[in-house]
Structure 1
Amino acid sequence: MIELDSLVQLALDHSKRRITIADMVHALGDGSLKMLILFFALPNSVPTLPGTSTILCLPLLFLTMQMALCQSPWMPAWLARQSLSRKDFATLVLRLKTLSTRIDRICIPRLGRYVGCGAIRVAGFLGILLSAVLVLPLPLVNVPCGIALVLLSLGNLYKDGLFSILGFITGFASLGLAAGVVIFSWRIGHQILLSWRF
């Protein structure tokens, strides 16, 4: 991924102690939207400490909204100022580099209708819902939502419709799982409240 080289250079900039979201957007330029979605989705695709997904989903919400509207990446000033230590940023970039090395062997341009403008808009709207789910402290659903966002962003970065299809399938399945968890939690909570009354 050509865009990844810009993040690698940013990670190697020893003049910066912290890397802001604004730094990332500036380094990536016009190609930043899909790469930034991948950057913030990747940590959510593996089990992390509680609360991590809530922090990372805020940029994802803005980025997926812009994908749905086919707009250039933009962040409000308060969010653009949010930062990572250069060490943590470099760790994430290294993970991306490792993923890129593996994905380059299997991702190819194919099934173009699933990475066209219309499909990208649908992926953006699905991404908004997945990012919103990540805000909620729901068990079991963060990793599937993160994987779906990673697949969608990879599909769009590589123009690989197969990865986009897998992202759509995983994304809608994740939303179904989230709905099931909410309904189950509500029923359990309702039963507990009823037992307290009597």
Structure 2
Amino acid sequence: MSLDTPSNEAAGSEAELDEAAVRLSDVLNGIANDEGRERVGVGDLLGVMKERAFGPLMLIFALPNVLPTPPGTSAVLGAPLIFLTLQLALGRDPWLPRVIANRSIARKDFAALVGRATPWLARAEGLLRPRFGVLAHPPSEYVVGVLCFVLAVVLVLPIPLGNMLPALAICVFALGILERDGLWILAGIALAIGSLVVVSGVIWAFVKAGLYLLHSLLM
């Protein structure tokens, strides 16, 4: 059965599932094992998770930036994060431009990626559980969206060391939102503050170096 044309029975079953019981690893494996389609696109996850797609999509676009990547990667992956985090901050349903939502890879390649990522994701999910719910639901969720939006903007800027820490903070926020875990939201806030302090220090160091160089040239 294709994800684009779910049966009424499947749709009804999905609606009956408890929100907290749906794990991202299960969703990814379900998409990867769907033999009714040849390719898997970003829009597939958006369609399956609906309003819960914020966490998974933020994680997918932020996680590659945690590791060293070729120059320009953060700008490419950061643009969808800006769309998503701004919508989260405004309390809107998740949406992505068609040019992003239609990006796809072969299902077999997607299945291979999911197979490698699932054990690590499952371990993270084992540490997550609904708690301190006031921090993981609106209106606190909107504040998280604002913080993530700021981090996403920083991530796309060409700042040395300006992508890894903000991306890590967004990943922690994404997992906290996905599993409604306020403890991880608190951890994300701590990481966000730390990353913004580091980035501010890097920017200030470059400004001081520029001013010193300018002063040397004028003397």
TM category (shorter chain) comes to 0.7 to 0.9
Among all aligned residue pairs of Structure 1 and Structure 2, give the percentage whose two residues are the same amino acid: 37
Instruction: Answer yes or no: is 1:16 the counterpart of 2:38.
Output: yes
Change (3 A) 1:96 1:153: farther
Computed over aligned residues only, the root mean square deviation of the Cα atoms, in angstroms, reads 2.4
- The answer to whether residue 26 in structure 2 is matched with residue 5 in structure 1 is yes
Matched residue SS, 1:75 = coil
TM-score, with length taken from structure 1 = 0.85
| Pairing 1:44–2:65 present | yes
Between the aligned partners of 1:191 and 1:140, the Cα distance in structure 2 is: 22
1:149 is the counterpart of 2:170: yes
**Unmatched segments (≥5 aa) in structure 2:** 1-21
> Which among 68, 71, 74 is matched to residue 92 of structure 2?
71
Distance 1:92 1:194 in 2: 52
Q: 1:162 corresponds to which residue?
A: 183
Residue by residue over 1:135-186, the C-alpha shift from the partner in whole angstroms, topping out at 9 and shown as x without a partner, is 1121123111111011111111122111100100101221121122112112
Matches within 5 A, 1:1-198: 2-12=23-33, 15-16=37-38, 19-83=40-104, 89-90=110-111, 93-94=114-115, 96-197=117-218
How many matched pairs? 197
CA distance 1:128–1:26, change in 2 (3 Å): same
Matched to 2:38, the amino acid is K
Checking the alignment, whether the CA contact within 8 Å between 1:61 and 1:132 is kept in structure 2 is: yes
User: 2 CA distance for matches of 1:147 and 1:194?
Assistant: 37
2:126 partner SS: coil
Amino acid at match of 1:35: P
Which digits, 9 at most, give the CA deviation of each residue in 1:96-145, with x for residues without a partner?
42332212332222222221212211110000010001111211231111
Structure showing greater radius of gyration is 2
**TM-score with structure 2 length normalisation?**
0.78
In structure 2, how many angstroms separate the alpha carbons of the residues matched to 1:88 and 1:188?
46
Please tell me whether the aligned partners of residues 7 and 27 of structure 1 are also in contact (alpha carbons under 8 angstroms): no
CA distance in 2, matches of 1:165, 1:135: 24
Quick check: 1:39–1:96 contact (8 Å CA) kept in 2? no
Runs of 4+ in 1 over 4 A off after TM superposition: 12-15, 83-92
Q: In structure 2, what residue type is equivalent to 1:120?
A: E
